[in-house]
Amino acid sequence: MAPASILNLPPASALQENIDAAEASIGVSPHPVYLHNLALSITHNLQYHHDWTSVSVHTHSSLTNSPLPRPVISGLPPKRAYIHPDEQAEILKVEHSTGKSIPQIPEREWVLPTHLQEKWSLAKFAAVFDALDTVPLAGKEPSVAKESAEVVGHQWQGKNRLKRLLLATLHDDSTVVYYIMHDGIVKPRQN
Amino acid sequence: MAEAYDSVSEPIPISLIAGRYLLFDVNVVTYLRRTHNICGSLIGGIPQAPQQNMFLGLPVELMPEEAALLVKKEIGYIVDDVAWHTQRFNTFEGEDRQKYLASLRSQGLKARKTAQFAARKRADHGLRKLVAKKAIESDSSEDESPDTPFDGTSSDALYDVDRPSSPAPSSIAFASSEPYALTPSTSYSPSSLPQNSSPAPDPPVGPGYALFELLQSRGYFMMPGLRFGCNFNVYPGDPLRFHAHFLANAYEFDEEIPLIDLIGGGRLGTSVKKGFVIGGEDLDAEAESGRKMRTFCIEWGGM
């Protein structure tokens, strides 16, 4: 005999709506549900805390068509997530000589959802990197980044860039931290 | 300098004393640093500044990975110094003993000669300066008093100019023929290297060796990583000229890594303007060229 007011649940939160909306696709996925929920939490954080756009969750590798080790997110950050130090140096050089600033167009990035309680290993990271393309396939929207030789720093953009992903780590208080992870030895940025 | 540098010949003996890999020859240390990217760390006290512990002198202690790499590339070999010393000096009799003592004596004489030469040069230099000073003084005094053509100072100057050519009585004190007493830093001279009768065991290498070897082969210099809490600090050139680029941690390929370690390493690395590298060897992978290494570089994402 619960009071009638309790039966009227408050409206679902944005995160709950997000999870509910993804439920249909989770059913047919090869991955366990908790990994999907993890990916959804990260997706939510990317979209609503960091203004990422066209965020999507990938369950299968575009290289081998076999399932990925876990669902991996790709999306478009509001500004470039990573600029290689050599590219930065070249941009500054060109900007200095021409006197015009070069607009930096964001590129799609991979995001690997993880939880702080997990333990990873070199083998697991290697498996994820081996299953991923260098650049995530653009969804429905056209690729914004031009891949032409005229673009300053094109050696470090698009297909020419080194394989990288953003390691997103979720904690129980819903904090998410993002670390850029490169496949191989890449010299650090001069920040 | 260049001569001493050329005199280093491979393979180089690396002294193993109390579990440490040590080098005692400054030429060897310079040679390894210049040609093989091997730095080691200076651990010896400096007699002039015995209290400081920032800038130290010989000997140089090598990391086990450095010693292992030198042995593997046949640049050096390990000498168990304690065993070698006992073996050599317990069976030291007759002619060999005399010869050894004579070699010590001749080195002592050489050292004494060098010291004498330096002292004489210093004395000469000082006297010449004195002469020059006096000559200037006498010149100015002549200008002031031209009426006195012959005074004591000018005759003194003449006497001083003559002095270096004839042996001064003071320099006889240097001429003692007694050699300096020498304490050799190693139990052997380069000409009498051990015959490798009992080769010391190769340095023990952990999972860090594969990563060390990879980074070394790419021209990086490695130093012990204690100051950043990692296995190695990785420098793009000589650590005296460059800041480190990376903090490197080695793991076995299937070793579990808590994510908090990666985040902590990435955060620390970014705050000191370095990358955090983790790496290890994939033992199962079919390698075309030696090792199959996997390395990952972690930086803060800025969001």
CATH code of the domain covering residue B237: 3.40.1350.10
* Range scoring the smallest mean pLDDT among A8-22, B207-221, B228-242: A8-22
pLDDT confidence of residue B185: 67
The answer to whether residues A116 and A168 touch, using CB atoms and an 8 Å cutoff, is no
Residue B219's domain comprises: 206-303
In a mutational test of the A interface, the residue from B222, B272, B299 whose CB has the highest number of chain A CBs within 10 Å is: B299
Instruction: Give yes or no: B274 in active site.
Output: yes
A190 part of contact set with chain B, CB < 8 Å:
yes
B227: closest CA of chain A, how far (Å): 19
pLDDT confidence of residue A3: 61
Q: Which residues of B touch A191 (CB under 8 A)?
A: 270, 273
Residue B177 in tokens = 């023929």
pLDDT confidence of residue B257: 93
ipTM over 0.95: no
What angle do helix axes A33-49 and A14-27 make, rounded to 10 degrees?
140
Give the chain B residue nearest A51 (alpha carbons).
B303
Instruction: Specify whether B212 is located in the same domain as B165.
Output: no
Tell me: cis bond preceding B59? Omega within 30 of 0 counts: yes
Give the pairing type, strands B246-250 and B257-258: unpaired
Among B220, B235, B245, B251, the one annotated catalytic: B235
- Nearest C-alpha neighbor of B83 from the set B16, B27, B161: B16
A115: closest CA of chain B, how far (Å): 8
- Of the residues B151, B173, B195, which one is the last residue of a structural domain? B173
In a mutational test of the B interface, the residue from A114, A163, A176, A179 whose CB has the highest number of chain B CBs within 10 Å is: A179
**Domain annotation covers residue B182:** no
Instruction: Specify whether B222 is located in the same domain as B155.
Output: no
**Domain annotation covers residue B146:** yes
Give the chain A residue nearest B300 (alpha carbons).
A179
Window 190-229 of B, Cβ < 8 Å to A: 215, 218
pLDDT band per the 50, 70, 90 thresholds, residue A8: confident
Determine, for residues B299 and A189 on separate chains, whether the beta-carbon distance falls below 8 Å.
yes
Tell me: cis bond preceding B50? Omega within 30 of 0 counts: no
**Domain annotation covers residue B102:** yes
Instruction: Specify whether B243 is located in the same domain as B157.
Output: no
Torsion of CA B9, B214, B202, B254, to 10 degrees: 180
B254: closest CA of chain A, how far (Å): 6
Supply the DSSP string of chain B, one letter for each residue: -HHHHHT--SSEEEEEETTEEEE--HHHHHHHHHHH----EEEEPBTTBTT--SS-EEEEEEPHHHHHHHHHTTSEEEEEHHHHHHHHHHT--HHHHHHHHHHHHHHHHHHHHHHHHHHHHHHHHHHHHHHHHHHHHHHHHHHH-TT--S-HHHHHHHHHHHGGGSPPGGGGGGG--PPPP---SSSS-GGG----SSPPPPPP--THHHHHHHHHHTT-EEEE-GGGTSSEEEESS-TTT----EEEEE--TT--EEHHHHHHHHHHHHHTT-EEEEEEE-SSSPPSSS--EEEEEEEE---
The answer to whether residues B21 and B12 touch, using CB atoms and an 8 Å cutoff, is no
Instruction: Specify whether B300 is located in the same domain as B222.
Output: yes
Window 229-258 of B, Cβ < 8 Å to A: 236, 245-246, 251-258
- Of the residues B124, B158, B173, which one is the last residue of a structural domain? B173
Count: domains in chain B:
2
Determine, for residues A179 and B279 on separate chains, whether the beta-carbon distance falls below 8 Å.
no
Residue A39 phi/psi, 5-degree rounding, is -60, -40
pLDDT confidence of residue B296: 94
Determine, for residues A189 and B262 on separate chains, whether the beta-carbon distance falls below 8 Å.
no
CA-atom Rg of chain A in angstroms: 20
**Domain annotation covers residue B4:** no
Give the chain A residue nearest B284 (alpha carbons).
A123
| Residue A145: pLDDT over 80 | no
Determine, for residues B280 and A122 on separate chains, whether the beta-carbon distance falls below 8 Å.
yes
Determine, for residues A188 and B296 on separate chains, whether the beta-carbon distance falls below 8 Å.
no
Determine, for residues B294 and A122 on separate chains, whether the beta-carbon distance falls below 8 Å.
yes
**Domain annotation covers residue B155:** yes
- Nearest C-alpha neighbor of A26 from the set A57, A66, A54, A63: A57
What are the tens digits of pLDDT across the range B156-210?
A: 545 555 444 444 444 444 556 677 887 776 666 554 555 555 566 677 777 788 8
Average pLDDT over residues B74-102: 80
Average pLDDT over residues A41-55: 91
pLDDT confidence of residue B175: 54
- Nearest C-alpha neighbor of A173 from the set A79, A43, A41, A8: A41
Residue B19 in tokens = 């579990």
**Domain annotation covers residue B288:** yes
What percent of chain B is modeled with pLDDT above 90? 27
Q: How far apart are the two ends of chain A, measured CA to CA in Å?
A: 62
In a mutational test of the B interface, the residue from A48, A76, A112, A185 whose CB has the highest number of chain B CBs within 10 Å is: A185
Instruction: Specify whether B149 is located in the same domain as B219.
Output: no
Instruction: Give yes or no: B235 in active site.
Output: yes
Determine, for residues A179 and B263 on separate chains, whether the beta-carbon distance falls below 8 Å.
yes
Which candidate from A167, A178, A186 shows the least CB-CB separation from B275? A186
Residue B144 in tokens = 């002031």
Window 60-89 of B, Cβ < 8 Å to A: none
Which candidate from A121, A125, A126 shows the least CB-CB separation from B256? A121
Determine, for residues A122 and B296 on separate chains, whether the beta-carbon distance falls below 8 Å.
yes
E strands present in A21-76: 53-60, 67-76
**Domain annotation covers residue B253:** yes
- Of the residues B152, B173, B194, which one is the last residue of a structural domain? B173
Instruction: Specify whether B226 is located in the same domain as B148.
Output: no
Torsion of CA B209, B211, B212, B215, to 10 degrees: 160
Fill in the amino acid letter for B140: S
Q: What is the H or E stretch that residue A25 is in?
A: helix A14-27
Average pLDDT over residues B261-290: 85
pLDDT confidence of residue B119: 92
Determine, for residues A121 and B251 on separate chains, whether the beta-carbon distance falls below 8 Å.
yes
Among B31, B77, B245, B274, the one annotated catalytic: B274
Determine, for residues A178 and B270 on separate chains, whether the beta-carbon distance falls below 8 Å.
no
